[in-house]
Structure 1
Amino acid sequence: MHISRLQLVNYRNFARTSVTFKGGVNTIIGENGSGKTNLFRAIRLLLDGNLSWSASRMTRDDFHRGLGPDWQGHWIIISLDFADVSDDEAVQAMFLHGAGDAAAGGAVDRASYTLVCRPKAPRRVQLSKLAAGDVAGLDAIRAEMTIDDYETALFGKSTADFTDPAAYTALVGDFSAVQFPAELEPPGLGFRIQGAMTIYDHVCFTYIQALRDVVEEFRNNRTNPLLGLLRSKSGKISAATMDPITALVDQLNGKISDLDDVQEVRRNIRETISDAAGVTYSPTKLSIRSELPTEADRLFQSLKLFVGEADDGHEGGVQDLSLGGANLIYLTLKLLEFKYQKGKQACANILLIEEPEAHIHTHIQKTLFERLKYDETQIIYSTHSTHISEVSKVDSINILARSGASCEAYQPSVGLDTDQIGALERYLDAVRSNLLFAKSVILVEGDAEEILIPILVKQVLGISLDEMGVSLINIRSTGFENISVLFHADRIRKRCAIITDLDAPTIDITVHEGDTKETITDKGVAERSAKAGADRHERLTAMEAANPLVSCHFADHTFEVDFIKAGNVQTVVDVVPELYVQKAYRDAAIARLASGKLDEYGPQVLFLANKAGKGWFAVMLGRLITADTIVPGYILDALLKVHAPLSAPTIAAIIDHRLAALQANGADELDILMLGVEVEKYRTGEIDLDALKASLLANYPEGTLAEILSRL
């Protein structure tokens, strides 16, 4: 049996979210603040017997913040669905009487277990008696309602899709129309489970928290995983084994107490008391005794773990280990704890591991993930490690992402066939799997774009791709469809921009009489490249038309050619001396680059790129990029499209940077100062974007600033 679905409604940073799981290993990935820890806590509230029942009593802060001040009357719903329920008689009996749904043959094949935090019955009765549209009455009830008016209840056999707004309204009520159900226990909730029936005794569940302060965990007897393991064994020690040890401890206690120094201190204490208080008020007896424990459980608590990391034979305590070593030991002990529990033959074995990558080397992360597989066990990881996501199965991944005040869950494999999923799994290495974590993604085909676009953005716009939450991924091919298929309303609901070349020829490709064999070959290569570019354009634009989350942006020729075409001749010219030793060759190359003729500068810049190697040529150009460099229009389009809409602070930061560049190039200082005031007004909301653009364009109607503003 395994968890097949988790539904969260109005819980912390989840408004309404459904997360699907498979048997075996599952991965939950997401940036910081995307809800991974809250999702795990939701599962623990239903399955973790180590949490007291009081943990399920919600507070005001547990309600989704999107509800704002009007949270009163709303419900928090946390629901787990289970699949592949065992046909074991005891298991079937539990779910037939509690949380299961029987199939046609009478056996339970699906089970649900739902926790609801809702107003208590008297408050629900009050709401149900309101006349439709009685807003004033609703406001009055809600004004009196506090968290003390709420109860927590468990239900089994729930059939509702709680994340469906219509289903939620049917169960809870319509706050806008002021219509609330008359039934106190609507059928969709299922059957209420009383306190006597608990799933804890039937599920082997272990939670391994994010590894924060492992040394402190070992110091605390309550959280020390070694003590937990030892306690589980202490009760199994026979009397025949324990009695000789107890006798030795008693003997040791006696010898310590009988030491001459100990007895001397005892006598001195008696004498000092007698001198100070007199015989009448002195204790009649006084002794100093050793009390080493003789019980197995207490003796085990005195055991410590010693580990050696180096080959010098030294063993030290956990506090002496490296962070990575200490975390690895902690994780190992928790896994062993799970193995011990798993031996109890529970109906489900579920292991939750929160961010196992903390302080652990990347190679160990990947090895741990690939090797950590137990029979008949469901493992759910949360992570923001690209190395773990690299080796995760695409169809077992859930991506959590922030969307405004809420967090959403995406399943990247929804609707994809086996071949598509397999191709994605082969493709997503540690670098490319960054796209699973980004707010938005730009896909490029080669090294030049991968190296230079981040530099261009930082120098010309004044902010980095990382600051914008954009991941730039070099797929090193033109097979963009294989990756962009991830970005879809049914899968990852994030924007994806594709930047690629049309490879239009820079030379006349007509074969003329008298052309050399080499020229004819070059023209043939150019023609085939142009044909491939045209086909790619047709294919990608069709895909773009069918998917509003994907946009495609094309260089007319190649990045290098279009970089010059945009107005960056001097930047390329400045690289030439690094590539030619002889002056004649340098001068000829510079002349062709500066000619302004496509059929001259095009072939020349491509020759230079191939001569140096496209990646190294990009590195050389990157050293010369400044705030005055012109970003080709198709790249600017891609960047502003994929990050749309830009926030006011981001727009203001970009404009501030461009104004500083204008001032550095001799613009009137007073003009820049006055425009800076306008930017600040926009930043604080005193004027809107259109008003700001009008002021800026009136002063600077051309140039990079105008190009950026035209795209906002």
Structure 2
Amino acid sequence: MHLSKVALRNYRNFSNAKFVFSKGINTIIGENGSGKTNLFRAIRLLLDDSMKRSALRLEERDFCRGLGDWRGHWVIISLEFDEVSMDEAIQALFLHGTGDIDDDEQIERSTYNLIFRPNQEVRGRLAQLDDGDSDGLASLRSLITIDDYEVVITGRSFADFNDNQVYTSIVGDFENVIFPTEFNPAEIGARIPPILSISKEISFTFAQALRDVVSEFHNNRTNPLLALLRHKSSEINQAEFQPIVDQVGSLNSSIENLSDVSEVRNDIKQTVNDTVGDAFSPTALSIKSDLSDEADKLFQSLKLFVAETDDGYEGAIHEMSLGGANLIYLTLKLLEFKYQTRNQPIANFLLIEEPEAHIHTHIQKSLFEKISYPNTQVIYSTHSSHISEASKIRNVNVIGKVDGRYEAFQPSTGLTPKQIIGVERYLDAVRSNLLFAKSVLLVEGDAEEILIPIFVNKALGLSLDELGVSLVNIRSTGFENIALLFHDDRISKKCSIITDLDSPFFDTNIIATDTEAEKNYKQSAIRSSHSGATRKVKFDAFCNNNAWIKPCYATHTFEVDLLLSKNNQMFVSAINDVYSDAATINTAKQELLSDDISISGKRSLTMANSSGKGWFAITLGQYVTHNINIPDYIWDAIVFSHQNFNDDILEKILSYRIKCIEEDLIIWREMVDTTTEQAPNWYADWNNYIQPRADALPNLKQQFESFQLGLSEIPDILQVLETSFPDNPIISLLRRI
């Protein structure tokens, strides 16, 4: 038997989420605060026998904040199991509590639900409201408190709690004020008697994400070593243990008979007698040693000592490294799980929260690959790309945010086995970062991977990470192998594809005077152009009718289109890092500054290819300034992926750009002030360039302050920029948002 589905309605950060699980090892991936811990707690409420029964009684904070007013709504946690054993005792358990089909049939699927809902009196009052009576509903809801709620555990349900229409039909339509008169509809399942509990029939171990291992070991309730010893204390050989009992008794007597102890006892007795007299003094008074002779209590005094270094020194847990202590903790929890499975329960579940905490990357992968037990379902949650790399995409759930709501995505839904294999081959430790991202930018080469993050940071004062965009280098044009993950049926996250069309930027017609090298160069360009055109047709068809993917094309190549966006000076600055010969340097500079793209473009590619595009990108990155002109197709990709440039982000960008303008004005004025009479035309040109910007800056600042106060909009700021700062890099961005 294994857990096949978890449905959550209105529980903590999940308004409506469905998780799908397989036999064996499963992985939960999600950013910080996405709800991985909440999912595990929801499962534990129904399956973890170590949780207090009172935990089932939820609180106001357990309702999803997205509801606004939680009063009247239900929290539903529904677990579905597959491959339920045909064992007669197990069938009896599920038929009485959680069976999904007729009682005279054996079942292979079962459900187990926790429902937290208003009591019947409140549901009755909701049902009595007239349809559409919003005022009456508001008045009634204002009187509801958490004490008006009840906990119901059900099985044998057949409702799809993730279906909004089903939920509305069961709970009620709050928007239109229509509530059902059937208080216990059959589809939510039959109540399970308190005497029956799946948690008592299974093996369930939960290893939490550790924040303080030392505290865990010092707490008798959470100490994993003590849990193991307690388990063994019930199996202890009494013949072996009796000598210890005898020694404890002898030790207690020896302590009691110490002369100092006897003296203190006599002094206490005498002082009491002197204080209240014989009539009111105790008839007897002793000081006794209370060292227990019970195995369970004796085991509490045992501590674990571990040697991490080659010198053989064994230190206590608090002396270990964080990674070492975490590894020991996980090891003990796994051993606890092994002890439980010896009792041969009907199912074995092992939940491990963020096993990678403080653990070296090589150990992370080893942990994931080796923690596999027969007839056991393992569910991890993780932030580690090394663990996600080793995960099977068909056994992965990704938690992401869509329109302000956290949802669960199953990346392999609807994919063929061949497609799944293709995805898993591509998702190495670097590329698997896209599973954790809020949105994704796919690029095809090292140059884009290196320079685009620098461009964004210099232009906006924010990194791609701050925008929540993860850039992933596919290192080829096989984007479909990864991009197919982004789909309504799989991962609902925006993904932009940046690739080159490789259209020629020079005359490719072969003429009689062409050298053999020139002919080969032109023929290569023609082939690349045909490949680019074919790729565009394929990508456009691939992305058609998919709102989550957008292809963005460089007309020529990354370097050439970068040059065409008026970044010639940046390439010129890198000449000395590429060439050492003075003549070549001079020629390269003239060519890069040429208005003829067939000349400047060819030189930019020659420089890029001279030492490899990756190395040239690193070189070029040193000369990127805040006045970088990012090509339009890259802005298109960034805006599509990020989508929501909210006011907070725009304020940061605008504040940064105003600071950049102020810094430029200072530098330009210093340059003008140091200009000699030998360059009067240069002086006049620059002064005419600087003064209008200096005059317009107060107006820009005023518009920005108005925007901060909510008194103006982005179009107002854009108008000032276009009029007075027409070369500002963020104009292209603001026009798009």
TM over 0.5: yes
Quick one: distance in 2 between partners of 1:235 and 1:82?
Answer: 32
How far residue 281 of structure 1 moved from its aligned partner, in angstroms, is: 6.9
Quick one: distance in 1 between partners of 2:438 and 2:353?
Answer: 22
TM value normalised by structure 2: 0.93
How far residue 359 of structure 1 moved from its aligned partner, in angstroms, is: 1.1
The match for 2:36 is: 36
Quick one: distance in 2 between partners of 1:556 and 1:89?
Answer: 69
Secondary structure of 1:353's aligned partner:
strand
Secondary structure of 1:498's aligned partner:
strand
Check conservation: 1:13, 1:405, Cα contact below 8 A.
no
Quick one: distance in 2 between partners of 1:281 and 1:153?
Answer: 57
Candidates 689, 706, 711, aligned match of 1:681: 706
**Identity in percent:** 51
The match for 1:165 is: 164
Which segments of structure 1 move beyond 4 Å, counting only runs of 4 or more?
A: 260-287, 667-670
Give 1:14-33 correspondences, 5 Å limit.
14-33=14-33
TM value normalised by structure 1: 0.96
The match for 1:473 is: 472
Give 1:286-297 correspondences, 5 Å limit.
286-297=285-296
Give 1:263-342 correspondences, 5 Å limit.
263=262, 265-266=264-265, 285-342=284-341
Cα-to-partner distance string for 1:136-159 (whole Å, 9 max, x where unaligned): 332332222111111010111110
Paired AA for residue 700 in structure 2:
L
How far residue 704 of structure 1 moved from its aligned partner, in angstroms, is: 2.3
Cα-to-partner distance string for 1:508-540 (whole Å, 9 max, x where unaligned): 222222322222222222221111111111111
Quick one: distance in 2 between partners of 1:292 and 1:533?
Answer: 82
1:178 aligns with 2:196: no
How far residue 266 of structure 1 moved from its aligned partner, in angstroms, is: 4.7
Quick one: distance in 2 between partners of 1:162 and 1:559?
Answer: 49
The match for 1:570 is: 569
Greater mean deviation of Cα atoms: 51-60 or 375-384: 51-60
1:504 aligns with 2:529: no
Secondary structure of 1:151's aligned partner:
strand
Paired AA for residue 545 in structure 1:
N
Quick one: distance in 2 between partners of 1:695 and 1:563?
Answer: 26
Check conservation: 1:234, 1:297, Cα contact below 8 A.
yes
Quick one: distance in 2 between partners of 1:371 and 1:130?
Answer: 58
Quick one: distance in 1 between partners of 2:270 and 2:193?
Answer: 64
Secondary structure of 2:27's aligned partner:
strand
Quick one: distance in 2 between partners of 1:299 and 1:204?
Answer: 27
The match for 2:253 is: 254
Check conservation: 2:721, 2:728, Cα contact below 8 A.
no
Paired AA for residue 100 in structure 1:
G
Check conservation: 1:6, 1:20, Cα contact below 8 A.
yes
Secondary structure of 2:290's aligned partner:
coil
Check conservation: 2:28, 2:379, Cα contact below 8 A.
yes
Paired AA for residue 702 in structure 2:
V
Quick one: distance in 2 between partners of 1:316 and 1:706?
Answer: 61
The match for 2:732 is: 707
Quick one: distance in 1 between partners of 2:108 and 2:391?
Answer: 28
Paired AA for residue 12 in structure 1:
R
The match for 1:590 is: 589
Check conservation: 2:96, 2:192, Cα contact below 8 A.
no
The match for 1:429 is: 428
Cα–Cα, structure 1 residues 701 and 586, in superposed 2: closer, same or farther, change >3 Å? closer
How far residue 703 of structure 1 moved from its aligned partner, in angstroms, is: 3.9
Cα-to-partner distance string for 1:611-636 (whole Å, 9 max, x where unaligned): 12211111111011001121112112
Cα–Cα, structure 1 residues 104 and 216, in superposed 2: closer, same or farther, change >3 Å? closer
The match for 2:100 is: 101
Quick one: distance in 2 between partners of 1:79 and 1:526?
Answer: 59
5+ residue gaps, structure 2: 666-689
The match for 1:54 is: 54
Secondary structure of 2:8's aligned partner:
strand
Secondary structure of 2:108's aligned partner:
strand
Check conservation: 2:459, 2:730, Cα contact below 8 A.
no
1:536 aligns with 2:535: yes
How far residue 669 of structure 1 moved from its aligned partner, in angstroms, is: 4.6
Paired AA for residue 406 in structure 2:
C
Greater mean deviation of Cα atoms: 605-614 or 676-685: 676-685
Check conservation: 2:539, 2:551, Cα contact below 8 A.
yes
Check conservation: 2:400, 2:493, Cα contact below 8 A.
no
Quick one: distance in 2 between partners of 1:293 and 1:7?
Answer: 48
Give 1:410-559 correspondences, 5 Å limit.
410-559=409-558
Quick one: distance in 1 between partners of 2:35 and 2:365?
Answer: 23
Secondary structure of 2:191's aligned partner:
strand
The number of aligned residues is 711
1:63 aligns with 2:63: yes
Greater mean deviation of Cα atoms: 372-381 or 239-248: 239-248
Check conservation: 1:234, 1:296, Cα contact below 8 A.
yes
The match for 1:655 is: 654
How far residue 60 of structure 1 moved from its aligned partner, in angstroms, is: 1.6
Quick one: distance in 1 between partners of 2:280 and 2:91?
Answer: 71
Check conservation: 2:95, 2:103, Cα contact below 8 A.
no
The match for 1:672 is: 697
The match for 2:672 is: none
Greater mean deviation of Cα atoms: 25-34 or 508-517: 508-517
Check conservation: 2:100, 2:158, Cα contact below 8 A.
no
Give the CA RMSD over aligned residues.
2.0
The match for 2:601 is: 602
